[in-house]
Chains A and B, each alone.
Chain A
Amino acid sequence: MKQVNLTVNGKAVSALVEPRTHLADFLREQRLLTGTNIGCEQGVCGACTLMVDGVPTRSCIVYAVACEGAEVRSIEDFDHDPVMTQLRAAFSAEHALQCGYCTPGMLATARDIVTRLPDADEERIRQELSGNLCRCTGYVGLVRAISRVLDERRNLAVA
């Protein structure tokens, strides 16, 4: 077991972890933060995507022990985040989820698109979403939801 010190959803955490425990398992099983879903465990499906030091990261291929000093934010920490609030409403309005399994990772990636690429068009949104698999929606609703939030923010900036 190794000691690791990090911040999880704003709280300083000191924990003993097996080096082989990846960040997603650490959050789910030691911190009981089960909002992060695990899909492929090989970095392909994107279900476990969350924020490490402010940027989207695959929590299944990052070991918790390698997160010394890191600031981790899982989906549970975004209840009052203004961009996430907009995204949740848009996901709901545009049918951007069905079973919901990919949704926490989708929201992490969607938030990154909205904040990093304010001018993203549909093609760019689709490229950026290529790392998050959704087998329910066919992506049409997802693309619409993200476009809607980008439009809302552009209109807000103009006004």
Chain B
Amino acid sequence: MKAAAFDYHGPATVAEAVALLRESDGMGKAVAGSQSLGPMMNLRLAQPTQLVDLRFLGELRECRDEGAAVLFGAGVTHAAIEDGKVPDPSLGLMPHVAGRIAYRAVRNRGTLGGSLAHADPAADWVNVMALLDAELILAGPDGERSVRAGEFMLGAFTTVLAEDEIIKAVRVRRLGPAARWSYYKFNRKTGEFAEAIAAFVDDPESGVRRAIVGAVDGAPYVIEDASALIDGWSDPAAASALQAAGLVPGSYEYQVHRVALRRAAERLSRPNGAQQ
């Protein structure tokens, strides 16, 4: 199908973008690569009357290595992360994930910030950023504020972003040199949205031992201390995490998420990046 009619704006500054969103009175949408919103608009599931295109904002494509963290402009594409064109604070986790988002033609245009703002529970970055406890920097009419990735998403396609706010950047803390990670997503077809996602990070330097259960009804469920699943598998610990994630024992969804969690836990003992 074709998108419903809308007005298009290509602002040159973040302030201008925010002002345009404010003027749109809730009927505007920010867009960057249009790889998530584009399909939704063509299917008329989304019908914004104003489209505010952020792709001409150079500052959204800048990345900065801050030493202890990397600050990613929200407009960085999945392909740039996949190809290592931007610094990697995650010992290969982010390039690994980026290279498995949808298809290359989509990754060439789709952006980190766009995927987060879209907040599809089955997409990758909402899950990975919660796992890495990233910090999202949001820009609005009153300046900037920052939100932890685990608190950004309120539900499926729903976030704390106000109607006149955009994601400007994402700060990801650097993993310690001995950190291990694993990421498992269950897809019936390469590149489609995941049926289930599970991931672990175990960083002896910072003491972080976190896991997530993702591609659930809403925001990913964060297991802040996943030691019970990292130091040998615990059925009761897994069951309690899966139920806390809103999954009903015995259902198909519970089963695939349990398998994903188990496989992600097993893969934690493999070298980073030797995942599939």
Contacts and interface: CB of A to CB of B under 8 A. Distances in A.
* Chain A partners chain B: yes
Interface of A: 2, 18-22, 25, 41-44, 46, 49, 52, 55-58, 60-63, 65-66, 68, 108-109, 112, 126-128, 130-132
A36 B97 CA distance: 30
Given A56-B105, A131-B103, A131-B106, A20 B34 contact: no
A109 to B, nearest CB: 7
A41 B41 CA distance: 10
B191 interface: yes
A22 B42 CA distance: 9
Given A19-B6, A66-B34, A131-B191, A57 B109 contact: yes
A58 B107 CA distance: 10
B125 to A, nearest CB: 17
Contacts of B196: none
Contacts of A63: 3, 8, 34, 38, 51
Nearest to A131: B103
Main secondary structure on B side of the interface with A: loop
B74 interface: no
Contacts of B1: 41
B2 A56 contact: no
Given A57-B108, A63-B34, A109-B104, A42 B39 contact: yes
Contact of B42 (A61, A128, A131): A61
A58 B105 contact: yes
Main secondary structure of the interface of A (DSSP, over half): mixed
Contact of A43 (B7, B35, B51): B35
27 contacts: A20-B5, A20-B41, A22-B3, A22-B42, A41-B1, A41-B42, A43-B35, A43-B38, A44-B39, A46-B103, A46-B105, A52-B109, A55-B79, A57-B105, A57-B108, A60-B42, A61-B34, A61-B38, A61-B39, A63-B3, A65-B8, A66-B10, A66-B31, A108-B105, A128-B103, A131-B102, A131-B191
Interface in B1-32: 1-8, 10, 31
Interface residues of B, number: 32
A22 B102 CA distance: 20
Residue among B10, B42, B53, B55 with the highest chain A CB neighbour number at 10 A: B42
B193 to A, nearest CB: 10
A56 B8 contact: no
Contacts of A42: 39, 42-43
Contact of A58 (B51, B106, B189): B106
B190 to A, nearest CB: 4
A55 B108 CA distance: 7
Contacts of A127: 190
A47 B106 CA distance: 13
Contacts of B42: 22, 41-42, 60-61
A66 B2 contact: no
Contacts of A46: 103, 105
Contacts of B108: 52, 55-57
A2 B104 CA distance: 29
A20 B6 contact: yes
Interface in B99-124: 102-106, 108-109
Given A66-B53, A68-B10, 18 more contacts: A19-B5, A20-B5, A20-B41, A22-B2, A22-B38, A41-B2, A46-B105, A49-B105, A60-B42, A61-B34, A61-B39, A61-B42, A62-B34, A63-B8, A126-B190, A130-B190, A130-B191, A132-B103
B106 A25 contact: no
